[in-house]
Structure 1
Amino acid sequence: MTNTASTVRTAVAVSLDHLLAAVRELRIGGRWERASVLLDAAEVTDPSARARLAVAAAEVSLESDWFGGTSLARARLDAAEKAFAGAHRHDRWDLDCLWLRHDYLGLVHIDGSFRPGPDGKDPKALAALRSRAENLRERAPDDVRRGWAEMYLGLIADNLFAERDLAPGHYETALRTADSAEPADPLLAREALRHLGDHDHDHGDHARALERWSRATELGARAGAVPGTLSQQMLLAVLARDAGDEAGAAALAREVARWAKAIGAADTEAQANGFLAGVDPTAPPAESGS
């Protein structure tokens, strides 16, 4: 008997909520291509469901851009705008937050490199981004989303305005929100702890930094956030080097580089290799005008 290869199209019924939950797990696990394929294969007729799928696809692409160095999010965000307009939905908070994250990334990463601080950037663009984050905070439909807006206000203060004294207050608020929300948001807590620990480290409080970075690593791993946990492991390598354990720091960085390469997290891989070459990934932003 001769078998003829053919493509078989099989329809599988699954709730939209379950589909989006699966996509979320793939996304935070660094399986961006698989998540995108799954979303693109979904067939829906309801305009609101189509808009939710488009927003989810934009978020997947944005995280691919963030960790993998791709440039996919803009096209997906434009597609989400069209889908959203066709759905006649009124609450566009999630889509607006994705645009904020996309534009923040464009201002803090230039030509593939992390370039914090206001120097060389349009002051009006920086001020507009901060205003948009404040607007997101004010109209957030729930505590967790409000916490994420607060988190980005901290990142904008830290990495775009070089306001190192102002940012931790935003992170502390985001952390309290993440821990007190029902249900709690471990990824928001992880993000806040990561950046609070960075400030502890800059102030020479390595014990406090270790406490916060260790908890952030645990939260990320428990949530299944593979790229985020790898980037968090880099900070633990920094503390090992600070403590004089160069062999341990190098061993951890090599593993981070190996894992990051395996999942396509190009930026994390480059950071790990830079660390092995002696670059400090936690060096504070240069002061404006310096």
Structure 2
Amino acid sequence: MVGQERGTRGVRRTEPAQGVVDFHELLAAARELSLAGRWDRALRLLDATTCAAPGDRARLALASAEVALQSDWFGGTELTTVRAEHAAKESPGPDRDLDFVRPRRDCLRLLRSEGTFRPGPEGKDPEALSGIRRSAIDLREGAPDEVRRGLASMYLGLVAGLIADNLFGDRAASPAPYEAALHAGESGGDDLLVRGALRHLGDHDHDAGDHDRALERRQRATALGARAGMVPGMLTQQMLLAVPARGTGDEAGATALAAAIARWAEAIGTARIHAQATGLLLGADPTAPPQEGGS
């Protein structure tokens, strides 16, 4: 923060400068910082903000929980639970947007065991898996109006697909919600939802051997992520472009791209992406479905 120096009996001290910023602009700035992978800066910005109105405090706390979730997902931190609990205390009542945070947090918690990304249902509590699925369905069906129902379809359709893919190991069940998420995202003008749906649909195309369609979807997803300024998401998309390069025999191109991704990921602190890029350099396929009976 910019400071002001004041003298008191020969002692100089620095005090934070005070200013007024439009609250909507501040939340938008924090969200863009989060998309760019600047989670610590986004959280410091939000933590330095004070609000008098209870409703604004609730929105501020919700924004902090959403940034924390992005940090946990890409950066390997564990910030969401505390932030989400604070947001629940600040909320004057049920908050559908905060309800979207919890199933994604729980999904990540089950995917990441002892600091390691472990897809598939092996070794996971079946009741916890079923609970995540029930939460996603309840949020979609319990939307209080048509607009919120549409938002629930956009976001929770994708979440349901992620759960089916990564936790239940049921790849055949997830293309339908991904397609629904794609349609909803395109209808609602939500580029990030479209990007996410295309990313995972491209995985299924790749597994089915339709490499041309996979490449088309992944390239479009990459462009949408770039337009949104989503740096960690761009790195994952670049990795998905490296896989078909290797598949078509361009090992030099795949290796060069994976090495660049690893350097970027390490530089911005995205531990999971760095591990995936390093694995890609060693010959692993980060898009491969979970092996049956394995983790």
Q: Same fold (TM over 0.5)?
A: yes
Aligned length: 283
1:143 and 1:78 map into 2 onto residues whose CA distance is 26
Given residue 9 of structure 1, which amino acid in structure 2 is its aligned partner?
P
Of 66, 74, 85, which residue of structure 1 is paired with 2:73? Answer: 66
Instruction: Tell me, yes or no, if structure 1 residue 274 matches structure 2 residue 279.
Output: yes
* 1:112 aligned onto 2:119: no
> Which residue of the partner structure matches residue 95 of structure 1?
98
1:152-163 to 2 correspondence within 5 Å? 152-163=159-170
Indicate conservation of the 8 Å contact 2:153/2:180, yes or no: no
- Secondary structure in 2 matching 1:50: helix
Residues of 2 paired with 1:124 and 1:152: CA distance?
Answer: 18
Which residue, 35, 38, 41 being the options, matches 2:45? 38
Deviation at 1:41, TM superposition (A): 0.5
SS at match of 1:284: coil
Q: Which residue of 2 aligns with 1:265?
A: 270
Which residue pairs with 2:3 in the alignment? Answer: none
Match of 2:199 among 186, 194, 202: 194
Cα offset, 1:289, TM superposition: 7.7
Whether the 8 Å contact between 1:178 and 1:185 is mirrored in structure 2 is: yes
Query: Deviation digits for residues 181-232 of structure 1, max 9, x if unmatched?
Result: 1xx1111001100100000101111111000000011100111000001111
- Aligned residue for 1:7, secondary structure, equals strand
Residue 182 of structure 2 corresponds to residue 175 of structure 1: yes
Is residue 150 of structure 2 the alignment partner of residue 147 of structure 1? Answer: no
- Aligned 8 A contact 1:138 1:146 in 2: no
Counterpart secondary structure, 1:8: strand
User: Quick one: which of 203, 206, 229 aligns to 2:208?
Assistant: 203
Q: Distance in 1 between matches of 2:14 and 2:196?
A: 43
Q: Structure 2 CA distance, aligned partners of 1:25 and 1:168?
A: 29
Q: Which letter maps to 2:86? A: A
Q: TM-score normalized by structure 2?
A: 0.92
Distance (whole Å) between structure 2 residues aligned to residue 139 and residue 115 of structure 1:
31
Question: Which secondary structure state, in structure 1, belongs to the residue aligned with residue 172 of structure 2?
Answer: coil
Aligned CA distance change for structure 1 residues 246 and 4 (closer, same or farther; 3 Å) = farther
Matched, 1:218 2:227: no
Output one character per residue of 1:130-155: Cα deviation in whole Å (capped at 9) or x when no partner. Answer: 01001111234152342101111111
Instruction: Report deviation, 1:79.
Output: 1.3
SS at match of 2:171: coil
Is 2:289 the partner of 1:284?
A: yes
The DSSP-based 3-state class of the residue aligned with 1:71 is coil
Provide the C-alpha distance between the structure 2 equivalents of 1:257 and 1:132, rounded to a whole number of angstroms. Answer: 35
Q: Which amino acid aligns with 1:167?
A: S
Whole-Å separation in 2 of the counterparts to 1:17 and 1:288? 48
Are 1:123 and 2:130 counterparts? no
Deviation at 1:288, TM superposition (A): 4.8
SS of structure 2 residue aligned to 1:267: helix
Q: Which amino acid aligns with 1:119?
A: E
Amino acid at match of 1:89: G
Greater strand proportion: 2
Q: Does the 8 Å CA contact 2:119/2:290 hold for their aligned counterparts? A: yes
Ranges in structure 2 where 5+ consecutive residues have no aligned partner: 1-6
Q: Is the 8 A contact 2:33 2:42 kept in 1?
A: yes
Partners of 1:213 and 1:27 in 2: how far apart? Answer: 22
Q: Secondary structure at the match of 1:6?
A: strand
* Amino-acid identity (%): 55
The 10-residue stretch of structure 1 (111-120 or 226-235) with the greater mean CA deviation from structure 2: 111-120
The answer as to whether partners of 1:68 and 1:264 remain within 8 angstroms in 2 is yes
What amino acid is the match of 1:227? P
Letter in 2 for 1:93: R
Distance 1:207 1:150 in 2: 25
Secondary structure of the residue that 2:16 maps to in structure 1? coil
Inter-partner Cα distance in structure 2 for 1:243 and 1:5:
65
Deviation at 1:6, TM superposition (A): 2.9
